[in-house]
Structure formats: C-alpha cells, structure tokens
Chain A
Amino acid sequence: MQARRHRAAAMVSGEENNRVLKVYNGMTPEQRRRAELFSQSSDYRRIQLVLKQIAAEFEQATIEKQTDLAKAIALKHQAEMTEAKRLYDAKP
C-alpha cells in the first residue's frame, strides 16, 4: 500500500506540475505582469482573513468527512474487530 501511495503521489505531482505549466504558458505578458502586481498589492491582509476562514472551515469539513468514513468502515467490520479483540484477549 505504501509503494502504491508513493506512485500515486508522484503521478499526481507530475500532473499538477503540468497543470502549472499549462496555466502559465497560456498567460499573456500582460497577465503575467498583472499577477506580479497582484502579489505586491496592499490587500494582503484582507485576502489572508478570507483564506484563513476558508482554511478553518475546510479543516472542519475534512475532519467530519474522515470521521464519517472511519465510522462507516468500523461499523462494517464491527464483528471482525470484536472477534479480533476477543481472540487477542483470550490468549494466555
């Protein structure tokens, strides 16, 4: 599973890098200049607040999603887990 995950991560990373290049190569010189100015504008604090709020809500949503998944899987395997624990506890 670990190796499969690493392969997937590498693949995703390659796809993302291609996407970055595709976006950047599709930008006109004016868009590139605008992006540079955008990063130096005075509205930094305001966008930070917005992004922090988004991050906080996204974190909560992720926690809830993971919790739901874990609970559903645990429920599905409840009998198996109970048996595994019983067998372990029964060992001398």
Chain B
Amino acid sequence: MFFLVVAQPNVLIAQEPNVSATTSQELGSKPPDHPVTEDQLRTYFAVCHVSAVSRQLTHEKLESQRQRLPPWYPQSVWDEIEDAVDKIDMPMLALPIYRKYMSEADAKMLIELFASPQGQELVENSSKLPCKHSTPV
C-alpha cells in the first residue's frame, strides 16, 4: 500500500576527494578508538549539505509516489507520513554507522576539506547527480 522512497545523497560517496592515509579506518577493522562525535557528524552533514540534498530528493520521489496513490487514499494520512519523514534526524540516524568506521581525526579532515571552496565545489557537483536509490516500502 505504501510506496515511500528513500533518497540518499550522493555527497556521501560520489564526490569524496582524496584522503590521506592517516584519516580512514580500514574496512573490516575494529571501530576507531575515538569515533566521530555527534557534533562533528552534524557539522559534516552541514558542510556536505547532506540533509538538504536528501530532503529535496526524498520529496521529489514522494511527490511522484503520491500521484500514484489509490484515489481513496486520505491525503491527511499521506501528509502525516511526509511530515514524519521530513522530521527524521538524519545525523542522529547515521551516527551509529559512522561511529563504526570514522574516527574523530577522519571527521576533522573531511569537515575541513568540505568547508573549503574546493570541497564545496565537489559537494555542489555531486549533488547535481541523479539519485539512484528508490525503494518501495
């Protein structure tokens, strides 16, 4: 009955530039001793515009899905679902995942990089890419 769509921002992976050997955790290794903090992740999401891009993509997809709802479907229910999706705290949702892989040092370097004009250009270019993740619920 519901066909919500998840739109994940490309900024998470597509535009990440080169990173020095001192900054990332090897895949499969143990979590970092000093993982990324909540504040760092919120800053990282902000400088990468993750939430804004994700929200925009999600609502484009949601609008497309809304138009395919059965005619009897109460608009108020759909609005409530959209509103709830809108209010998801993305950094908080992502934090446990990031803490498995990203150290404070990783986060610091990534934040500094993406706050730079060069990094912002990378973010901007990546956010123009089409989103490929759409999942029926």
Contact = CB atoms under 8 A, between A and B. Distances in A.
Interface of A: 1, 5, 8-9, 12-13, 15-16, 19-20, 23-24, 27, 31-32, 34-44, 46-55, 57-59, 61-63, 65-67, 69-71, 73-74, 77, 80-81, 84-85, 87-89
A9 B18 contact: no
Chain B binding surface SS class: helix
B37 interface: no
B98 A54 contact: yes
* Interface size bracket, B side: 35 or more
A77 B27 contact: no
B26 A23 contact: no
29 contacts: A9-B56, A12-B55, A19-B43, A20-B114, A24-B117, A27-B112, A32-B112, A34-B109, A38-B19, A38-B20, A44-B17, A47-B16, A47-B23, A47-B106, A50-B24, A50-B25, A55-B13, A57-B100, A59-B6, A61-B94, A62-B93, A63-B135, A65-B93, A66-B4, A70-B2, A73-B84, A74-B1, A80-B74, A80-B77
A64 B23 CA distance: 30
A23 B113 CA distance: 10
